[in-house]
């Protein structure tokens, strides 16, 4: 079960329930994936609506690993979710809100 006070969310991917959390290590992983851009620059990119499929893979993968799941980005890329692309985007938005805005999903 997700602990909203720690910025965790729950999501169903490929028919399995997962907890996702962008820990400090997961956030550092995202920064590294974007060539060392700082979190504010990355957040501004996402706020502007510029979220592609590779962005979703990176953020969801980092969130899964941050919560202790052993899954690679290649495995995340093969996962399915209800709602297809919109479903993946919803997970990314919920995770970012839980991390940066402290909002419950």
Which helix or strand (DSSP H or E) is residue 82 part of? none
39 pLDDT band, cuts 50/70/90, is confident
- Which parts of the chain fold into alpha helices (H)? 24-33, 39-47, 53-66, 73-77, 84-96
Higher pLDDT, residue 50 or 82: 82
Residue 94 confidence (pLDDT) above 60: yes
What pTM does this model have? 0.90
Which helix or strand (DSSP H or E) is residue 16 part of? strand 16-20
- The Cβ of residue 19 has, within 10 Å, a number of other Cβ atoms equal to 18
What does the block give as tokens for 40? 């504010």
Q: What is the mean pLDDT of the chain?
A: 91
Which helix or strand (DSSP H or E) is residue 18 part of? strand 16-20
């Amino acid at each position: 079960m997700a602990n909203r006070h720690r910025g965790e969310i729950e999501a169903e991917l490929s028919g399995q329930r997962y907890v996702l959390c962008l820990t400090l290590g997961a956030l550092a992983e995202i920064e590294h994936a974007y060539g060392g851009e700082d979190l504010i620059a990355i957040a501004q990119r996402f706020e502007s609506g510029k979220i592609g499929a590779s962005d979703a893979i990176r953020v969801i993968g980092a969130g899964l690993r941050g919560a202790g799941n052993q899954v690679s980005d290649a495995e995340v890329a093969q996962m399915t979710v209800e709602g297809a692309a919109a479903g993946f985007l919803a997970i990314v938005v919920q995770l970012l809100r839980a991390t940066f805005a402290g909002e419950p999903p």
